[in-house]
Amino acid sequence: MSITLPKKILIGVDGSDASLKATAYAIKLAKLGQAGVVALHVILLPAYTSQKTVDSLRKELSARAEEVWERIKKLPDSGDVKFEAKVIETNRSVVQAIVDFALKSDVELIVLGTRGFAGVAKLMLGSVAAGVVNSAHCPVLVVR
């Protein structure tokens, strides 16, 4: 059996210290294997609320995503890898959004932090990480 380093790595980021630590780890791994990195920020919007509320949340959470990218750009070695930042929205499941994106994008490894940012959208990457580990088509690395 031959094992090779992944050529495309997906990192789930939310701006928490855990996700930034996972991002730094994934960047080092990508540099080792000359892999491309996609940092994915999932915005969870409520399904059953007014359009005004959805628009307000979208604006707030999109601004937070921009802050996350700025923090990632400052990480060591982030300029040394092919790096792509993506933001997607869902009104159902952050886990399913990550898993579906990874499958459609031919990702070979997903990297996540153990716990995430608990903000307006109540994203808890601990439970997200567990869900992704159980549902992903590829290996998942959870960074503590």
Q: Domain limits of the chain?
A: 8-143
Is 80 exceeded by the pLDDT of residue 64? Answer: yes
| Residue 139 contacts residue 32 (beta carbons within 8 Å) | no
**Of 3.40.50.410, 3.40.250.10, 3.90.550.50, 3.40.50.620, which CATH number belongs to 8-143?**
3.40.50.620
Angle among Cα 27, 31, 33 to the nearest 5 degrees reads 115
pTM of the model: 0.88
Residues 6+ apart with CB under 8 A from 6: 29, 33, 35, 107, 108, 109, 138, 139
Confidence of residue 116 (pLDDT cuts 50, 70, 90): low
pLDDT at 125: 41
Q: Is the predicted pLDDT of residue 21 greater than 50, yes or no?
A: yes
Both structure tokens of 62 = 């999109």
